[in-house]
Structure 1
Amino acid sequence: MRRPLEGVRVLDFSRVLAGPYCTALMADLGADVIKVEPPAGDDYRHVGPFKDGESLLFQSVNRGKKSVVLDLKTDAGKQAALDLTATCDVLIENFRPGVMDRFGLGAANLCGAFPKLVYVSLSGFGQTGPNKALPAYDIIIQAMSGLMDVTGEADGPPMMVGEALGDVAGGMFAAFGAMVALFDRERTGRGRHVDLSLFDSLVSMMPIAACRALIAGETPQRTGNRHALSAPFGTYQAKDGHFAVAVLNDRLFESFSSAIAQPQLADDPRFATDVLRRQNEPELAEFIEGWAANNDVETVVDNLTRAGIPAAPLSSVMQAWTSPQVEARALASPVSHPTLGQFLVPEQPVHFNGAPRGGRQAAPALGAHTVDILKTLTHGDRT
């Protein structure tokens, strides 16, 4: 069995999270990813958590790659980068606009020299626009995208999402952009420059907020753990913790009302439609939590599930990653490392029929493949 991206070679100039996440997804699918690092290495090699001197975060998002050390401030480093580009299908970089140009490795230069190259630029705000030169980290993108403004309790301050979602969104769309450009190259014979940003990516991943702002002309407000438009659709208190429930139509609400031993709610005019249920959600919540207060979370979820109502306990990250569902879906698989031994790293989530999962390599030591790769360089292999 073969992986879908076997035979695709990727030159990865990215560092930290967004770009490396993109190329990790591609490496999972069989791409030959060559990670170009400065002499000091990717910043993430120096960010914890650490074990036996190794960054586990670096291991997580740089799995399956090769490492080549090049000093792009030197003529020899720039020439080696050009020679490597000639052998690659895709180039990924996540510097601020203009930095690759200063190295002589900008999109205009390399796409002109290598017409089949797919050149992906992933930056905080893109190659155009008034904010293009601004520095960007995930919290900055969450703040400017509106995501923090709609996250948190209604009477509380804006909140960060508990994951670097801006970086991950950018990484996913970078992989998507690279794949689309490669597909188009099969038809046209030419690559292209792909320009995307963390800001654009995260804003685009908020379709509910977008429709309310762009079409309804309203500013979404924070609603805590309750859905902004539907009810009951959120988290509620049981005797020993919280549970999540999702009721999105009248038929389901009728079943839900019976399941919580309040069948009269289905005929209550306050709860006759989804819109009315959301408007009167505080009153509805009293009925729900009054019933749930007599039951533990496990019993609540079991009763609702048997009635056909989407419901779930709230899992910790550890509970989620060690769940039978994660194991069955092979979302993590073991790799072997000379210092850390064997451990699990995440794997891209899409299942391709006939393509194997697992069997991957740990993240490389700094410069581990420099000599082997540079001594085999030939010109024009991909162009």
Structure 2
Amino acid sequence: MNSPAGTGFPSTPTPAALSGLMIADFSRILAGPLATMVLADLGAEVIKIERPDGGDDTRSWGPPYDNVGRATYFLSVNRNKTRETIDLRSAEGRARAQGIAVEAGIVVENFRPGVMSRLGLGYEELRAHRPDLIYCSISAFGSGLGADLPGYDLIVQAVGGLMSITGDPLGEPQKVGVAVVDVMAGLYATVGILAAVRHREQTGQGQKVEVNLLSALLAGLVNQSSAYVAGGVIAQRRGNEHPSIAPYETLPTADGQLAVAVGNDRQFAALCSVLGAAELVSDPRFLTNTSRVGNRAALRRELSGRLAERGRLSWAEALSAAGVPAGPVNDIAGAFALAESLGLSPTHPLEGQQTVSSPIGLSVTPVAYRLAPPPSGGAL
């Protein structure tokens, strides 16, 4: 599809991986906008449809704000898009939105199930005008019996079991420090959309893609979900400990917490050598991973006593040099500084500001940072 006149997408010297794809993005908050931004970074033309009374909810989710007063939450998932402000409550607005959706050929939305159909913008309604339509719906609990249940990421973390395995075992359940269920759902949606695009290229046939947050979380719990489904084991909160490996946790040092991830006997021997505790390798309590897991508390006492002699950065450097995965518990500023020191370029300039870099590296069709998140505008 060619871009509609006036969309404002800049041309790029080298065609991007998804050049030629056009997406009508009716989504808001996080999961849907993340999916469409990933596709936009790879070259798709994304038109963000926003309501006139404030637009995407995250435009007002602050502080924090950037230096011109924009909510940084909104900025995090809306680059490389243009914007159309459309009042879907009006017949004129719905007609305009339908035209954009049909021309685009790919639609992403995360309204509560049934809302888009009532507006004349559901999958069946739009497919009647474009049979090869790809239509991605993201919901909290699916389009069946859970269709009427409202759900933000926090709610799904709670009812989906993630909070039950997060936090100190002696404390209360905790949510993860970012809306990780929305992130997982957005990435699953991206994969589903690309699979549908591939199928359309091969057959000319469109289809509906459905992702819900609860199912995305259950799949994203990976080994913990498998432990329940295949082994009947219901995981519990373990703080920073791993249920199946030891030591694989954070440990105290002279000046803060150090994360240590020992996955095999060779790494355990190297850890003990660096700590000047070679005798622990032959200790019957710690001979194998299974025995170390069974004697985790005793092992933690042994290691913590030795780690108290030096600071976390010193230990991290020495352990990493010995092939033992280890690192200090950084704040976010420290994390970005680490990435910079490793030459990973975690930020990229975009229209006078920095944006968080895409993690996707492509040698021939790299990610392009073409457009800053769209400003607010007038309504149709």
TM-score (norm: length of structure 2): 0.92
Q: For 1:347, give the aligned amino acid.
A: S
Q: Is the 8 A contact 2:260 2:325 kept in 1?
A: yes
> How far apart are 1:275 and its partner, in Å?
1.9
Aligned pair partner of 1:312 in 320, 327, 345: 327
| Structure 1 contact 235–245 (Cα < 8 Å) conserved | yes
1:324 CA drift (Å): 4.0
Give matches, 1:212-231, under 5 Å: 212-231=227-246
What is the 5 A alignment of 1:294-313?
Answer: 294-313=309-328
In the alignment, is residue 135 of structure 1 matched against residue 145 of structure 2?
no
User: Residues 15-54 of structure 1: matches in 2 within 5 Å?
Assistant: 15-40=28-53, 41-48=55-62, 49-51=64-66, 52-54=68-70
Q: CA deviation at 1:266?
A: 1.6
Q: Structure with the greater relative contact order (CA < 8 A, sep ≥ 6): 1 or 2? A: 1
Partner residue of 1:97 out of 110, 113, 132: 113
Alignment match, 1:265? 280
Paired residues of 1:334 and 1:358 also in contact (CA < 8 A): no
Q: Tell me if the contact between 2:347 and 2:356 (Cα under 8 Å) persists in the aligned partners.
A: yes
Amino acid corresponding to residue 204 of structure 1 in structure 2: A
1:50 counterpart SS class: coil
User: Structure 2: where are the runs of 5+ without partners?
Assistant: 1-13
1:339 maps to which residue?
none
Q: How far did residue 327 of structure 1 move?
A: 7.4
Partner residue of 1:332?
347
2:75 to 50, 59, 72: 59
Question: For residues 1-383 of structure 1, what are the structure 2 equivalents within 5 Å?
Answer: 1-40=14-53, 41-48=55-62, 49-51=64-66, 52-128=68-144, 130-325=145-340, 328-336=343-351, 342-367=352-377
Contact 2:339 2:345 in 1 (8 A): no
Aligned length: 364
Contact kept, 8 Å, 1:213 with 1:219, in 2: the verdict is: yes
Paired residue secondary structure (1:355): coil
**Does the C-alpha gap of structure 1 residues 16 and 359 become closer, same or farther in structure 2, counting only changes over 3 Å?**
closer
Secondary structure (helix, strand or coil) at the match of 1:243 reads: strand
Stretches of structure 1 that go unaligned for 5 or more consecutive residues are: 337-341, 372-383
Q: Equivalents in 2 of 1:263, 1:25: separation in Å?
A: 48
Aligned to 2:10: none
Find the aligned partners of 1:14 and 1:113 in 2 and give their Cα distance.
21
SS in 1 for 2:272: helix
C-alpha displacement at 1:159, in angstroms?
A: 0.5
- Are the aligned partners of 1:245 and 1:312 in contact in 2 as well (CA < 8 Å)? yes
Post-superposition offset of 1:328: 2.7
- Which AA in structure 1 matches 2:36? T
CA deviations 1:185-212 (Å, max 9, x no partner) are 1111111000111111122111111121
Secondary structure at the aligned position of 1:226 is classed as: coil
1:155-205 Cα shifts (integer Å, max 9, x gaps)? 111011111111111111111111111011111111100011111112211
- Bigger drift between 82-91 and 230-239 goes to 82-91
Q: Structure 1 length as normaliser, TM-score?
A: 0.91
CA RMSD of aligned residues (A): 1.6
- Runs of 4+ displaced beyond 6 Å: none
State, as a whole percentage, how many aligned pairs show the same letter.
37
